[in-house]
Amino acid sequence: MHKIIKNENGFEYIEVKNSAAKAKIALQGAHIFEYTRQDKNNLLWLSEKSVFEQGVAIRGGIPLCWPRFGSLDESLQQHGFARVSMFKLINVNELNEFSTEVLFELRDTKESRALWNHQFILEVKMVISQTLSISMKTKNLDEKDFMITQAFHTYFSISNIQNISIKGLENKFYFDTLLDDKHKEDQAIKVEKEIDRVYIDTDDEVFLIDKDKNIKLHTLGSASTVVWNPWIEKSAKMSYMSKNAYKEFVCIESANAFDDFVMVKSKKTHTLSLTISF
């Protein structure tokens, strides 16, 4: 079952329900901000201060960073324009009692070409089921190759930041954006202060271990993984975030970031996909 809901600001989202799970996905940004399995709470953190307004990225869920991750490009806003662009809902396909597939599309417009002068189709597919799967397929319609960086900027809801550890990134080099430096550690990650790292050459599987759940991220088409938590001071300064929010979430982002950019050849495609299971 699914329905389109519009709030008082005209902000639209689709609510999907089947026998396995429930999800809410905004048409702006093809942005999933709730995924709840029947027996569990929302897997995705959503800020209590988040506003649902056109042109403002939802603080939480899975923002799609595209065609840029970060803010290295002067002509493009931080994390690109996809997360504040209106996607077209192409299809909702009830695959079976436990599984619903939702397909969105974003195409270039006069406005997007003014920011990033390329012709493209960005196809976003989600499967709401016992697991949550999401993919972004970039189609290059240009005569020339183009370059993208991207991420599923997933905010995971956690019991408390002090309870979690992140496994699967041990012995991988990471670029520490706070120190502007490269490092490597042989231990699982514990978050005890602000963290903003881009891990390089990462494997397909990363694990978030919490008190009461083990979450597996299985990623394809990505070679970097970002780990982010703003900690106390930055939490208080971030837009649409309360000062204690840092305790409630961690971002683990399946990405192609910084040097790990993707050249999408003319008339070809590239797909980044993520399956989250727990």
Residues engaged in binding ligand TA6 (CB under 6 A): 57, 70, 78-79, 153, 196, 226, 228, 251, 253
Beta-carbon neighbour count of residue 5 at 10 Å?
11
* Separation between Cα atoms, residue 166 and residue 155, nearest integer Å: 14
Query: Residue 97 CB, nearest distance to ligand TA6 (Å)?
Result: 36
In the bound complex, which residue of the shown chain has the CB atom lying closest to ligand TA6? Answer: 228
Contacts 24+ apart (CB under 8 A), 107-116: 108/141, 112/81, 112/85, 115/75, 115/76, 115/81, 116/67, 116/75, 116/76, 116/81
Query: Residue 37 CB, nearest distance to ligand TA6 (Å)?
Result: 26
Asked if 136 and 253 count as a contact pair (C-beta separation under 8 A), the reply is no
Nearer to ligand TA6, 98 or 258 (CB): 258
Nearer to ligand TA6, 16 or 46 (CB): 46
Nearest to 16 by CA among 107, 122, 95: 95
Asked if 237 and 269 count as a contact pair (C-beta separation under 8 A), the reply is no
Nearer to ligand TA6, 61 or 221 (CB): 61
The CB-side HSE value for 119 (13 A sphere, CA atoms) comes to: 7
Query: Residue 191 CB, nearest distance to ligand TA6 (Å)?
Result: 13
Nearer to ligand TA6, 141 or 178 (CB): 178
Which is it for the CA torsion 211, 255, 79, 43, positive or negative?
negative
One-letter identity of residue 41: N
Query: Residue 18 CB, nearest distance to ligand TA6 (Å)?
Result: 30
Nearer to ligand TA6, 92 or 134 (CB): 134
Nearer to ligand TA6, 79 or 139 (CB): 79
* Separation between Cα atoms, residue 145 and residue 138, nearest integer Å: 12
